[in-house]
Amino acid sequence: MAPLALLMLAACIPQTGGGYRDSGYDRPAPRQDRHSQPQSQQDGWERPALGNEQDVRRLPAPPPAWQARKVQADSRVVAGTSYTVQPGDSLRSISMKTGAGSEAIARANNIPSPFVIRVGQKLTIPGGRYHLVRDGETGIAIAIAYGVDWSRIIAVNDLEEPYILRTGQRLLIPDTASPSGRPETIEQRAARFHLDLGVDDIVTGGQPAIAEKAKPAQPTASSARVLSPTTPVAAPARLAGGFQWPLKGTVIRRFGPGASGERNDGIKIAAPLDTPVLAAADGVVAYVGSDIPALGGLVILRHGDGWTTVYGHAGQLLVQRGQAVKKGQMIALSGNSGFADRPELHFEIRQGRSPVDPLPRLPAR
């Protein structure tokens, strides 16, 4: 099949404004009333080397957000203490006073949504190192700045889908011992740290932070729109129907551990070079690029309900980040980029952070 003509680069679309779902952390404490009952709890860019000499041809796109917005490791160390709630306080204002994260304070004191606190209530302020998230920062960039795996930051902060950080949020940075056991500075730790970027990192830590009252950009069907790398993208709320096969070809490797102990998080489908790669379900392009060398040309789609699909080893990438795609729409052409020794597609289905076997979820053929 002849290569598709490349589309012209369009102007970047700025982040859209609007109402963002109320987190509840700004809700002030109700005034104390001795008669009341307790309230109820309601262009050119640097591309990593691929595994072989095949070039991944693609539509023009900016660098990923974690390269576009660097993070300064200027965290604040907070001592564990206690705080008595004052009139007009909210978890957010207490966070600003103490330097601890509002989410961490809520967890430490077993305060569920909608995060109601009372005047006179004594709160435990959890100690630790907290990073103040700024506009456009990503989880991946924060992990690199502090020399800590992003998965550990997810765990200690109890982060969940859709993993979009909020400007002004304070993330707890877990401690990491040096190989020698001797204390080291953040700069020393970051200098020796190497983030082995994987699909889970991109899915959970690739979205740029967004202002509290802003909305992520809505997807568009046009591949000519190129979003700024610091613009978050809205994902579908629900998965529409089931999944279809992304490629006509032969399954040459199945999901799970291989003979030598390595694990395959998806399936490998062999097909001739430049075979159309199709979206397995309606979705939004969350990532397109080649930042995971082993997978080469890569597209990641979000489908709603926490479902994600992954398409690797592509030779041509035909969609843009933030583009809405329909089930069966061509998103790439097959190739042998990355660590592939023949034209093939690496295909994954993920539920949340966990890869699942695609075969039981695809139609029999």
Better-scored residue on pLDDT, 259 or 173: 173
- For the chain, how long is the longest CA-to-CA vector? 78
Q: Which range (24-33, 194-203, 299-308, 332-341) has the least confidence?
A: 24-33
Phi and psi at residue 193, to the nearest 5°: -80, 140
185-223 pLDDT tens trace: 788 878 878 888 999 999 999 999 998 888 899 999 998
CA distances to 53, 120, 307, 353 from 268, rounded to whole Å, are: 20, 60, 19, 20
The pair of structure tokens assigned to 321 is 């980040």
Q: Please name the amino acid found at residue 122.
A: K
Q: Which domains does the chain have, with CATH numbers?
A: 218-361 (2.70.70.10)
Residue 113 has pLDDT above 70, yes or no: yes
Provide the pLDDT confidence category of residue 279 given band limits of 50, 70 and 90: very high
Strands 307-317 and 57-58: parallel
Share of the chain above pLDDT 70, in %: 82
pLDDT per residue over 43-62, tens digit each?
223 333 334 434 566 666 67
pLDDT at 48: 36
Instruction: Phi first, then psi: give them for residue 139, nearest 5 degrees.
Output: -60, -40
User: Strands, E, within 85-219: which ranges?
Assistant: 122-125, 128-132, 170-173
From start to end of 121-200, where are the E strands? 122-125, 128-132, 170-173
Q: What is the pLDDT of residue 224?
A: 87
Burial of 103: CB neighbours in 10 Å, binned 0-12, 13-18, 19+: buried
CB 118 within 8 A of CB 29: yes
Q: Chain-wide mean pLDDT for the chain? A: 84
By C-alpha distance, which of 344, 332, 364 is closest to 250? 344
